[in-house]
C-alpha cells in the first residue's frame, strides 16, 4: 500500500495567493519605511552615500540622495495602505534593479563602500571589507516580493480592494 500526502485542491491556490500577497505587500512596505526612516534624519549623509557609488556628478548625487528617503517612505506608505499596489510594486522593482546594478557596479570597480541602504552609507574605513554579495542577495529577495505583487496585486485589507468593492479572497463554499 502506497501512502501519499493529500494534494491541495487546485481551488485552494486562488484562496491562498491573496494572503501571500498581503505578506509580500506588508514586508515590502516595512522595508521601504525602515530604509526611508533611517535616512530621512540626515539627508546630507544620504547624498554622500549616493555619491560614494561614483556614478553621478556630485550635485546630482546629493539631490538624488536627499530625495530618496522620501520616495522610500512614500512607497512604504502606499504599499502599507494597499493603494495602487501594482504601480507601487513596479516602482519598487525598478528602484531595486537600480540598487542592485549600483552595488554590482561598485563591486566590479573595486570600490569599498557601504551601500547606504538602511543608513548613511558611504566610503568604508581603511581595511574594512564591503559586503556586496549579501546586499545583492537581500535586494534580489525584495525584488522577488515586488515581482510577486506585480503579478498578483490583489490582497486583503487594502484600499485597492475597498475602492473596487471586490474581495481579494474568493469564497470557497462550493
Residue 67 has pLDDT above 70, yes or no: yes
In which band, very low, low, confident or very high, does the pLDDT at 159 lie, cut at 50, 70 and 90? confident
pLDDT tens by residue, 145-156? 999 999 999 898
CB 114 within 8 A of CB 130: yes
Task: Give the pLDDT score at 174.
Answer: 41
What's the Cα-to-Cα distance from 30 to each of 24, 37, 77, 113, 144, rounded to whole Å?
10, 10, 9, 24, 15
Query: Please, which pLDDT band fits residue 167 given cuts at 50, 70 and 90?
Result: low
pLDDT by residue (tens digit) across 3-45? 665 555 556 777 888 899 999 999 999 999 999 999 999 999 9
Examine the pLDDT at 139 and tell me if it is beyond 70: yes
Which CA distances in Å does 12 have to 7, 20, 149, 153? 10, 13, 19, 18
> 10-21 burial string, b = 16+ CB within 10 Å, else e?
eeeeeeebbeeb
**Strand, helix or coil for residue 123:** strand
Where do the structural domains in the chain lie, given as residue ranges? 17-153
Q: What percent of the chain has pLDDT over 70?
A: 87
Residue 8 or 63, more confident? 63
pTM for the predicted model, two decimal places: 0.85
Report the distance separating Cα 57 and Cα 141, nearest Å.
30
Amino acid at each position: 500500500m502506497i501512502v501519499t500526502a493529500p494534494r491541495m485542491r487546485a481551488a485552494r491556490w486562488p484562496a491562498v495567493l491573496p494572503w501571500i500577497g498581503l505578506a509580500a505587500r506588508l514586508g515590502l512596505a516595512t522595508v521601504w519605511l525602515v530604509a526611508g526612516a533611517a535616512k530621512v534624519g540626515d539627508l546630507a549623509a544620504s547624498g554622500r552615500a549616493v555619491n560614494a557609488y561614483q556614478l553621478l556628478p556630485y550635485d546630482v548625487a546629493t539631490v538624488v540622495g536627499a530625495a530618496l528617503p522620501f520616495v522610500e517612505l512614500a512607497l512604504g506608505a502606499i504599499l502599507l495602505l494597499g493603494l495602487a499596489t501594482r504601480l507601487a510594486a513596479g516602482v519598487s522593482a525598478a528602484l531595486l534593479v537600480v540598487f542592485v546594478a549600483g552595488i554590482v557596479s561598485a563591486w566590479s570597480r573595486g570600490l569599498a563602500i557601504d551601500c547606504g541602504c538602511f543608513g548613511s552609507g558611504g566610503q568604508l574605513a581603511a581595511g574594512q571589507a564591503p559586503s556586496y554579495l549579501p546586499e545583492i542577495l537581500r535586494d534580489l529577495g525584495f525584488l522577488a516580493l515586488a515581482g510577486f505583487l506585480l503579478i498578483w496585486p490583489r490582497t486583503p485589507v487594502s484600499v485597492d480592494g475597498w475602492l473596487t468593492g471586490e474581495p481579494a479572497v474568493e469564497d470557497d463554499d462550493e
